[in-house]
Amino acid sequence: MTAQIINGKEIAAKKKLEIAEEVARLKTQGITPGLAVILVGRDHASQTYVNNKEKTCKELGMYSLLIEMDEKVSEEELLGKIDELNRDSAIHGILVQLPLPKHIDEKKVIETISPLKDVDGFHPINIGRMMTGQNAFLPCTPYGIMVLLEETGISIAGKNVVVVGRSNIVGKPVGQLFLNQHATVTYCHSRTKDLSLHTNQADILVAAVGIPNFIKAEHVKEGAVVIDVGINRNEAGKLCGDVAFDEVSEKAGFITPVPKGVGPMTITMLMYNTLKSAAESLDRD
């Protein structure tokens, strides 16, 4: 079997058009969705991510505010800035680009962001709401994966889903979203014994490991849906995922490529969450 490619770039473009239309509609009601991004230090990858977020905001007609802080900024000053943005009615989403310098407590930073503006979906209140199936900001990468499947017409209820990776930002929440949609979910991680025994049960296999080409054909059931979250560089410095694409695509039914798979969905769902926050703020007024 040769897998059908799930084109994240195309699906993201379609979703962005829908978001831009909704932004234009909100503007007629006197509200422009606004996203504030705080960047601490000068990490090259973080700068690229932040620039993309700013660019996408503008493309969709949203207000974007970039706050750059020195690497040596005190935790107190950063928390003060977040507090100021929590009270700023032009800002509907606040994102602090991670990772942060070691002297700053990431947990404290995340918990200082108002849950009503936590468009990354990392605040414990949003995570709890997601787990209990309540209205919440869903974390962008997991949410993007669910939208990719929905747009591709892949059903989830009753499927065996195996997630390799259990980070707080990808692995754990994506498994929870599958569970919310009635899948039977298995988590694998670095202590899992006999990984391929589990992964071979997967109708839908999600790889969020951070190791280039880690998932091989031997890990994959014939015809499975394979979602590759990884963003890695191989020995040649080329961008690659966690899945050995060439061999796995010969066996899988559907597969996301890297790049142009999950990646473009993450930023799209960030924009969606900012729009949602703005729309909900209107309802509260």
Positions marked catalytic:
53, 97, 120
CB of 124 to ligand NDP, least distance (A): 17
Q: Which residues contact 201 (CB under 8 A, 6 or more apart)?
A: 160, 162, 186, 221
Rounded Cα distance between 180 and 177, Å, is 5
The nearest distance, CB 208 to ligand NDP, in angstroms, is 4
Beta-carbon contacts of 45 under 8 Å, excluding residues fewer than 6 positions away, are none
Among 136, 204, 262, 270, binds ligand NDP (CB under 6 A): 262
Residues 198-227 close enough to bind ligand NDP by CB under 6 A: 208-211
Q: Is 30 left (phi over 0), alpha (psi -120 to 50) or beta?
A: left
Query: Which residue number places its CB atom closest to ligand NDP?
Result: 167
Q: Interface with ligand NDP includes 27 (CB under 6 A)?
A: no
Does the protein bind ligand NDP through residue 145 (CB under 6 A)? no
Nearer to ligand NDP, 116 or 244 (CB): 244
- The distance of closest approach from Cβ of residue 197 to ligand NDP in the complex, given in angstroms and rounded to an integer, is 13
Say whether residue 142 binds ligand NDP (CB under 6 A). Answer: no
Contact between 260 and ligand NDP per CB under 6 A: no
Per rule CB under 6 A, is residue 231 in the interface with ligand NDP?
A: yes
Tell the smallest beta-carbon distance from residue 118 to ligand NDP (Å): 17
């962005």: which residue's tokens? 16
277 binds ligand NDP (CB under 6 A): no
Q: How far is the CB of 139 from ligand NDP (least distance, A)?
A: 9
Q: What does the alpha-carbon distance between residue 285 and residue 279 come to, in Å, rounded to a whole number?
A: 10
Nearer to ligand NDP, 138 or 170 (CB): 170
Evaluate whether 210 touches 232 at the Cβ level (below 8 Å).
Answer: yes
**Which positions lie near ligand NDP, rule CB under 6 A?**
141, 164-167, 169-171, 188-192, 195, 208-211, 229-232, 262-263, 266
